[in-house]
Amino acid sequence: MSNLTGKVALVTGASRGIGRACAIKLASLGAKVVVNYNKNQSAADEVVATIKSSGGEAIAVPGDVSQFVAAQSIIKATIDTFGRLDILVNNAGTTRDTLLAIMKEEEFDSVIQTNLKSVFNMSKAALRQMMRQKYGRIVNMASVAGIVGNPGQTNYSASKAGIIGFTKAMAKEYGSKNIAVNAVAPGYIPTDLTNVLPQEVKDGIVKMTALGRMGTAEEIANVVAFLASDEASYITGQVIAVDGGMV
């Protein structure tokens, strides 16, 4: 894996799960990392401490990325601290699973706002700095649900499909500025979001994979780190499913 020394990476929703794994992986390759979180400061501080204990550099920056003003302040804090921004990992997300017939409007809106609008907010806020540098790597967290759909997740599937469309369009807009934009679509990864699922649902998902097992947050982070590196310099506008052969 290529060296990220001298690069500055910002990971949203990085206090736990896949975001945490991404922050730690990028730091292990030499990047200075901004650990963004919304509510759980102690968890974010633990991620920073983990990175520092391995000799890395990191800070925790709070902010609700679903709000544009907050997104701008997170980007500003990053540049004020480290002087640049090379890698943006748009990972923050939520679920409000229920069947469409009984889904409340608020359950739809909040998932679109948190998952999809946040990608707009952060990408737009990061753009000026990346254009000034003539360099940027944006990795958006989609989902296999955005590719094949998932019952009980019309809101989540729509938000993740939206991220895929956004990724492809932005890649075409800013490729000439040396800004690469890609998406990773995880399959079933045990995190706080998926732990609430009934066991029989989990067993059913595992049966759908070719590899016959769940994935790990670290396996997602490895692909994110690759896409964030110069080894992926000719890859943009792509969606890479990391799903054990589910789709």
N- to C-terminal Cα distance for the chain? 26
- Pair of tokens at residue 105: 């409007």
Position of tokens 């792509």? 238
3-state secondary structure of 180: strand
CB 57 within 8 A of CB 33: yes
What is the four-CA torsion angle of 73, 40, 216, 90, rounded to 10 degrees? -10
Dihedral pair phi/psi, residue 46, rounded to 5°: -65, -40
In sequence order, the β-bridge partners of residue 241 are 185
Structural element, H or E, at residue 137: strand 136-141
Whether 156 is catalytic is yes
Of 156, 174, 188, 234, which residue is the catalytic one?
A: 156
| Alpha-helix runs per DSSP H in the chain | 17-28, 41-53, 68-82, 105-111, 118-133, 145-148, 154-174, 199-208, 217-228
Question: What does residue 33 show for φ and ψ, rounded to 5 degrees?
Answer: -120, 135
Which residues form the catalytic set?
Answer: 156
